[in-house]
Amino acid sequence: MLRQEGILYIVPTPIGNLTDITLRAIEILKTVDLILAEDTRTSGILLKKYDIQTSLRSYHTFNEHKQVDFIKELLYAGNNIALVSDAGTPGVSDPGYLLIRALVTCGIRVSCLPGPTAFVPALVMSGLPSDKFYFEGFLPHKKGRQTRLKFLAELNHTFILYESPFRLAKCIEELIEYMGSERLACVVREISKVFEQAVTASLGELSVEIQQGKLLPKGEIVIIVDGKAEEKSAKPKRS
């Protein structure tokens, strides 16, 4: 009897506190034939905590093109595989999209578990409008950065950025340049960890907080920015 094709499970992992993982995620990681990990050392800490013995294989930005065909063959042979990133949901500003697209194109089943994604708790904690939002993720470092900032400046609804702590101060200054110092924003860091911090203020005030060391540029950073205020049309004068 021929074995059916395997399934690729996209398994979100904790973005801070290791106990944020779901029971189903643990079950999947224990029962699949192989786990693809962005960094096997980082994932190894999580697997050790939950006594998960499944084999690990490295899958990251620098080798994903070379891995796709190999992974497809494993799935065709009936192996179930889990894909994890260092933290959060693979494919959202983390490796995974290339593989997922290739498998979907070939008709191989991909199943994504619900779970941690940094921008959702950051958006909720910010207090900024969340009924409609735009997720930008990481801005380009050089080419195209100004174009993206100009685009974001004109959005009428909340938008979300990911940023490195080393570039936080510069990013806030760029946002001020394109959107003004009075635009409301929130900087969230260390989500679900001991030193979690969420500060909502004007961009100008956030810049001062960073300069004074009250808002520490450490850990993973999420920036939530309020949309551009819609201009109110002038009321027609009565004759």
Mean pLDDT of 147-154: 97
Mean pLDDT of 130-157: 95
Q: Give pTM, 2 decimals.
A: 0.88
Mean pLDDT of 28-41: 96
Q: Hey, how many other C-beta atoms are within 10 angstroms of the C-beta on 236?
A: 6
Tell me, what DSSP letter sits at residue 165?
A: G
Structural domains present in the chain: 8-112 (3.40.1010.10), 119-225 (3.30.950.10)
d(CA 164, CA 113): 26
Q: What is the pLDDT of residue 63?
A: 81
- CB-based contact 19:119 (threshold 8 Å): no
Residue 105 CB partners (closer than 8 Å, separation 6+): none
What SS3 state is found at 79?
coil
In this model, does residue 6 exceed pLDDT 80? yes
Residue 137 CB partners (closer than 8 Å, separation 6+): 92, 93, 160, 161, 162
pLDDT, tens digit, 9 for 90 and up, residues 39-65:
999 999 999 999 999 999 999 878 878
Residue 198's Cβ-side half-sphere holds a number of Cα atoms within 13 Å equal to 17
In this model, does residue 173 exceed pLDDT 90? yes
Tell me, what DSSP letter sits at residue 39?
A: -
Q: What is the pLDDT of residue 145?
A: 95
In sequence order, the β-bridge partners of residue 112 are 10
Q: Which range is least confidently modeled, 61-75, 134-148, 182-196?
A: 61-75
pLDDT, tens digit, 9 for 90 and up, residues 210-237:
999 888 888 889 999 999 987 644 455 5
* Residue corresponding to tokens 């900032």: 149
Q: What is the pLDDT of residue 1?
A: 45
